[in-house]
Amino acid sequence: MSMTEADVLVIGGGLHGLGAALDLARRGQRVVVIERNWVGAHASGATAAGVRSLWRDPAEIALAREAIELWHRMPEVVGDDCGYVAHGQLRLAAAAGVGALEARAAQTAALGWQHERIVGHNEIRRLVPGVSSRYVAGLFVADEGSADPHRTLRAYRAAAEAAGVVIHEGTEVTAVERRGTRWVLRGAGITAAAPQVINAAGAWAARVAEMFGEHITLSTMPAMMIVTERVAPIPMPVIGVVGGPLSLKQTSQGTLLIGGGLEGAPDLDRARAEVRMAILAQGARTAVDVLPGMADVVITRTWAGMEAQTSDALPVIGRSDVAPGLVHAFGFSGHGFALLPSVARVVGDLVAGEGGRHDLTPFRPGRLHPDAVGEGADARSG
């Protein structure tokens, strides 16, 4: 079998693999993406596609706000708006949660961020006319919202291929070998070599790292979604609540999408996640608790997808300090869709040996090496 030669090989054809590949191809690099199933087969095809910096870990806010600025300019980035609509992001609080809202607002203000704004009783009723009277306040960001995941996948794929990226689907990387200054990757039907490799293998990224001799401690987030029948337009932002797993939005097709931390059952070996009805029911109840008018809306479909979950819910973005030429971009812990355009630039910078756009220290891979785990565990962001 002949050897495919490239400057950069990307393992994983999800959005983060495609985004980094696009960025590097535009810098003149020869880039090959190797995807086990098909582009968008896993988290990137299952995602709810919410775009928010609201309620994120402070370490991610700069990356998220840069991404939001780029979501507004998607036609310039990939030639399509990716269905992005800035209908706002709102985190609601019942009386018991108001203290948490105020603490969050004070924290982000102290860090110099101005975009999150506390809204009171009257304004949340204006933003969400049917909202339950239990909710008395909220934290609101006006310029955030959601996109269309499949349109985003199509646009990123088309832009990447137009920039010269070669995508191999149905090809699992099963072996890695170091030859001189290059890595040789093998999978069914392909042998490919390059000095630089990006690990964008989502839920399987620790297994890929292992092939390079790097041990990373990861777990799997099997996020579930509920979608309903189409209903009349409800003017509302994407809604979350303080203290509960909820993300509720209306899509441009009129369906309601409910998710936000509902977890199913993952099976990494079979590459599938199954839904758990009892937990889905809790999610549906929380949604009806927020919007009582939804009580009779019919659920039409549910699904689960998976991606890597880190112990601090922050992604892994950085150069491996074990394997030369290996750059990691995974572990988005259920909220990596929003970060796509800014992470693509940052990963491009890392591979190109440029940097300084963001402080990547909180995302360093070494924090999840077995001897380091425990340092910062349990700081899950909302």
Which positions lie near ligand FAD, rule CB under 6 A?
Answer: 11-17, 34-37, 41-44, 46-50, 172-173, 200-204, 208, 223, 225, 247, 259, 305-307, 330, 332, 334-338
CB of 83 to ligand FAD, least distance (A): 13
Pick the closer one to ligand FAD by CB: 24 or 203.
Answer: 203
Minimum Å gap between C-beta 121 and ligand FAD is 27
Taking CB atoms, the residue at the shortest distance from ligand FAD is 14
Rounded to whole angstroms, the Cα distance separating 332 from 221 reads 10
Least distance in Å: CB of 178 to ligand FAD? 17
Are 49 and 148 in contact, with CB atoms under 8 Å apart? yes
Residue 162 and residue 120 in contact, taking contact as beta carbons nearer than 8 Å: no
Q: What's the rounded Cα separation, in Å, for the pair 263 and 317?
A: 24
Report d(CA 52, CA 143) in Å as an integer: 9
CB of 42 vs ligand FAD, minimal distance in Å: 3
CB of 89 closer than 8 Å to CB of 50: yes
Rounded least distance, CB 19 to ligand FAD, Å: 8
CB nearer to ligand FAD: pick between 47 and 310: 47
Q: In terms of Cα–Cα distance, which of 261, 238, 236 is closest to 248?
A: 238
Nearer Cβ to ligand FAD (43/291)? 43
Nearer to ligand FAD, 105 or 275 (CB): 275
Percentages (nearest 5) of helix, strand, coil residues in the chain: 30, 30, 40
Q: In the complex, what is the shortest distance from the CB of residue 95 to ligand FAD, in angstroms, rounded to a whole number? A: 27
Minimum distance from CB of 215 to ligand FAD (Å)? 16
CB nearer to ligand FAD: pick between 231 and 268: 268
DSSP string, 231-254: -S-----EEEETTEEEEEEE-TTS
Q: Which residues lie closer than 8 Å to 273 by C-beta, 6 or more apart?
A: 222, 224, 264, 265, 266, 267, 304, 305, 306
Q: Which is nearer to ligand FAD, 125 or 276 (CB)?
A: 276
Question: Could you give the count of Cα atoms lying within 13 Å of 255 in the half-sphere of its Cβ?
Answer: 15
Which residue in 249, 278, 250, 251 sits closest to 262, CA to CA?
A: 278
Using the minimum distance from each CB to ligand FAD, give the nearer residue, 23 or 35.
35
